[in-house]
């Protein structure tokens, strides 16, 4: 990312600093400032002495990494090794956090190998940094193996694992509780993540734990609780937490609006959006996704289109693919397929089938729109496009909580220990209503069948 050169006042200040500080101190100072890695590098390149000092490389490498210039940081790290400058734990702590992309696993492994070769793998901070790197690179298997191998697990170690996991977060949290360590807000936000599959009772237990702690007013935790209760269809509790918050930020408003929107209460989401504007909170892209989606699910097509227009005209926000997706969905649900296709053809990003060439969600969205208006030809055309591009929809899931354990089901699942009993229950249900379930059982039906198996007669299913 390019930054503008310093203005006259900045130049005079920089000149004064150059006269009063040593090159090493200047490099360290500039590298920590978000817009000045280039100034630090200029001082470094002009000082032959600095180019032999490990501490100067520390400052520059970490400065580049913090400023999202990882490649430049790594190039300097390579130069450091080529010149024989000593590499230590601080060097690696400055470099490793820049390796975060899912496509960088092989590179991540090479950094790990280098750490072991240098004998730095026993350093606790470096080990935690490597663990976080694997989690962020999307390699859960490698991260778990590395985590299990670690002899010294402190709170930061557990937080890195819990925050990086989805379905396994709850199981990891149970392991964490047996470790004797006390959770902090980062731990609990990871457990309450939208990707973690919590049952209602477990969520309530976590909320009680939070309310009895010193961080009950933590804004990030309260935002996570709102999301959790929205997923558990307890919108009353979600709103109770929202209005009890001492401080609310844009994420708080986005979470509560998204909760009402996902359950078809678009009018409430719209009312909350207007309330947010009256509170002098300026909307951003994600909050518009929430309110547009809410309008779509509630059939508020004209209101949604007004919000979409206001993004650019009133707030100067450039709509992204996710906003166009909401508008296409909104128009399709209103039966306005011609208008939806016009949006797809005229939007500023390259359309292919729907919005993004490899985004399976948009193809499924278009297929659903065609299905709603009984356009069989359109559905078949989308299916052919998906096959040609070798796209496959990720399976959805349903879950049932029983005795503190979450049981997950996907369509056609045969992995559960009670599979035979579950399918027998499905057959009994089909016989009761005289229908055939076909060859593939949906995840919801499997979950319901299992819930009936484990629930006593007369008890209410959670």
Say what the pLDDT of residue 361 is: 55
Beta-carbon count within 10 A of 154 CB: 12
Asked if residues 265 and 290 have their Cβ atoms less than 8 Å apart, the reply is no
pLDDT in the model for residue 186: 84
Please give the Cα distance from 198 to 446 (Å, whole number). 18
**pLDDT value for 393:** 55
The Cα–Cα gap between 172 and 165 comes to 9
- Distance in angstroms (rounded) separating the CA atoms of residues 183 and 191: 11
How many angstroms separate the CA atoms of 147 and 153, rounded? 8
pLDDT at 166: 59
- Residue 360 has a pLDDT of 55
Q: Which pLDDT score, from 0 to 100, does residue 340 have? A: 82
Write out pLDDT tens, residues 362-377: 566 666 666 655 667 7
Structure-token pair, residue 96: 């490793």
pLDDT in tens, 312-368: 899 999 998 888 888 888 887 787 878 887 887 788 875 544 445 555 555 666 666
Biggest CA-to-CA distance, the chain = 89
Extract the tokens encoding 4.
Answer: 């503008």
What pLDDT sits at residue 334?
A: 81
Q: Would you state the structure tokens that stand for residue 334, as one six-digit string?
A: 């209103």
Angle (CA) 98 101 105, round 5°: 95
Q: Would you call 257 exposed, middle or buried from its count of C-beta atoms within 10 A (0-12, 13-18, 19+)?
A: buried
Spans of the chain below 50 pLDDT? 1-6, 8-9, 11-24, 26-28, 30-31, 33-35, 195-196, 352-355
pLDDT for res 278: 92
Report how far residue 154's alpha carbon sits from residue 152's, in angstroms, rounded to the nearest whole number: 6
Cβ atoms of residues 148 and 111 within 8 Å: no
Task: Give the predicted TM-score (pTM) of the model.
Answer: 0.56
């Amino acid at each position: 990312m390019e930054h503008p050169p310093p203005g006259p006042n900045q130049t005079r200040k920089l000149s004064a600093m150059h006269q009063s500080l040593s090159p090493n101190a200047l490099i360290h100072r500039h590298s920590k400032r978000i817009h000045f890695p280039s100034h630090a590098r200029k001082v470094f390149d002009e000082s032959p002495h600095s180019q032999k000092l490990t501490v100067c490389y520390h400052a520059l490498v970490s400065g580049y990494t913090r400023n999202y210039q990882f490649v430049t940081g790594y190039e300097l790290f390579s130069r450091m090794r080529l010149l024989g400058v000593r590499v230590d734990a601080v060097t690696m702590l400055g470099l490793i956090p820049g390796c975060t992309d899912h496509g960088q696993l092989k590179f991540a492994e090479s950094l790990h190998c280098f750490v072991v070769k240098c004998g730095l793998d026993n350093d606790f901070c470096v080990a935690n940094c490597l663990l976080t790197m694997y989690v962020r690179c999307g390699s859960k298997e490698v991260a778990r193996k590395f985590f299990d191998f670690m002899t010294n697990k402190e709170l930061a170690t557990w937080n890195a694992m819990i925050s990086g996991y989805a379905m396994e977060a709850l199981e990891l949290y149970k392991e964490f509780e047996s470790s004797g360590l006390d959770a902090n807000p980062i731990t609990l936000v990871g457990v309450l993540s939208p990707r973690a599959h919590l049952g209602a009772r477990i969520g309530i237990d976590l909320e009680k734990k939070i309310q009895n702690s010193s961080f009950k007013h933590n804004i990030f935790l309260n935002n996570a609780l709102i999301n959790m209760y929205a997923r558990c269809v307890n919108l009353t509790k979600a709103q109770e937490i929202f209005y009890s918050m001492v401080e609310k930020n844009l994420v708080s408003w986005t979470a509560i609006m998204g909760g009402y929107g996902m359950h078809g209460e678009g009018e409430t989401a719209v009312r909350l959006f207007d309330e947010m504007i009256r509170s002098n909170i300026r909307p951003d892209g994600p909050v518009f996704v929430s309110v547009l989606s809410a309008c779509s699910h509630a059939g508020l097509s004209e209101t949604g289109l007004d919000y979409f227009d206001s993004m650019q005209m009133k707030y100067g926000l450039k709509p992204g693919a996710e906003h166009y997706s909401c508008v296409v969905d909104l128009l399709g649900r209103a039966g306005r397929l011609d208008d939806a296709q016009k949006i797809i053809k005229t939007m500023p990003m390259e359309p292919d089938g729907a919005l993004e060439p490899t985004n399976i969600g948009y193809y499924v969205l278009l297929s659903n729109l065609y299905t709603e208006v009984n356009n069989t030809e359109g559905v078949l055309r989308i299916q052919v496009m998906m096959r040609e591009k070798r796209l496959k929809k990720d399976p959805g899931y349903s879950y049932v909580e029983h005795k503190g354990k979450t049981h997950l089901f996907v369509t056609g699942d045969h992995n559960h220990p009670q599979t035979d009993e579950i399918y027998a229950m499905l057959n009994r249900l089909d016989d009761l209503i005289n229908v055939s379930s076909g060859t593939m059982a949906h995840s919801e039906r499997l979950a319901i069948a299992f819930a009936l198996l484990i629930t006593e007669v007369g008890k209410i299913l959670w």
